[in-house]
Amino acid sequence: MAHRWKNTLTAQDVTPYSAFLNRRQLMTGLAAGGIAGALPRSAAAQNSLEPNTFEEITNYCNYYEFGTGKEDPARNAHRLTIDPWTVRIDGLVDKPGDYSFADILSQMTVEERIYRFRCVEAWSMVIPWNGFELADLLNWVGVQSNAKYVAFETALRPDEMPGVSSRVLDWPYVEGLRIDEAMHPLTMMATGIYGKDIPKQNGAPMRLVVPWKYGFKSIKSVVRISLVEEEPPASWNVANPREYGFYSNVNPEVDHPRWSQATERRIGSGLFAKREPTLMFNGYEEEVAGLYDGMDLRTFF
């Protein structure tokens, strides 16, 4: 199991909140007051790595349950009812049950982390998430020794989600992680963005964030978490296994069959901005490469 991530920043590294919101300073992470810096060491050394605006993050996103256009989720997700919200945690855990979102939050330590976000469609952002480590939630319910994977499921509300009338995917949306990936300290359940509750179009009230994987791996509006022995299904992998592997790690050397993954377009950088080189594991190679020692990352993509 991975060691807990150690924050090396101090109070002197904290960017003033007003400057943070106005994008006036280069961001390398936050510290103090329970806020953990989270940019990868390899990425933090690069220039121009500042968070996207709240408007960019919340108006340009994928959430196919509300439509396949980039702006469809922002237009349609207001229909989603998120209070009350219950998450079923079951399978190979000591304390299975239906947990209210409020009860989960009462047991977790919420902090702010700035993560790179890379979409399989070759665009990227930098997002300041609020949330807690998935490992803390799993430890709270007790992971049994024979659990090898964690399976996730998104809410399915046909009356609230106009996009599920399409057959682009089999619903509900499902995803999965290996247990060591789930327990890694970078893996978090996000509940907010920029210190505000996470908007519905971004996966309210709680979504997975795995920053070294393509964005579709970070399943939104989670209603079920199951600890299992066998590799669980993942929606895009089931829909098109040739194009979307179970692991979905950001790897610039493994192209999507229909486009290159060697570079990415940073949202907010302008229509004619130069594309940026894509970093291995989205810049988190030093933190997570050890999870895949001995694996052929072209076969297990």
pLDDT score recorded for residue 270? 81
Point out the residues of the chain with pLDDT beneath 50: 1-36, 43-48
6 is in an annotated binding site: no
pLDDT score recorded for residue 38? 62
pTM of the model: 0.87
DSSP secondary structure letter of residue 173: P
247 is in an annotated binding site: no
220 is in an annotated binding site: yes
Q: What 3-state class would DSSP assign to 55?
A: helix
166 is in an annotated binding site: no
Q: Which H helix or E strand runs over 192?
A: strand 188-193
- Bridge partners of residue 128, in order along the sequence: 114
pLDDT score recorded for residue 48? 47
Q: Which two tokens stand for residue 4?
A: 């807990």
Q: Which H helix or E strand runs over 264?
A: strand 263-266
Q: Which H helix or E strand runs over 90?
A: strand 86-91
What CA–CA distance (Å, rounded) separates 108 from 99? 13
Looking at CATH, the fold of the domain delimited by 11-292 is given as Sulfite Oxidase; Chain A, domain 2 (3.90.420)
Alpha-carbon Rg for the chain in angstroms = 18
Q: What 3-state class would DSSP assign to 93?
A: strand
pLDDT score recorded for residue 49? 80
61 is in an annotated binding site: no
207 is in an annotated binding site: yes
65 is in an annotated binding site: yes
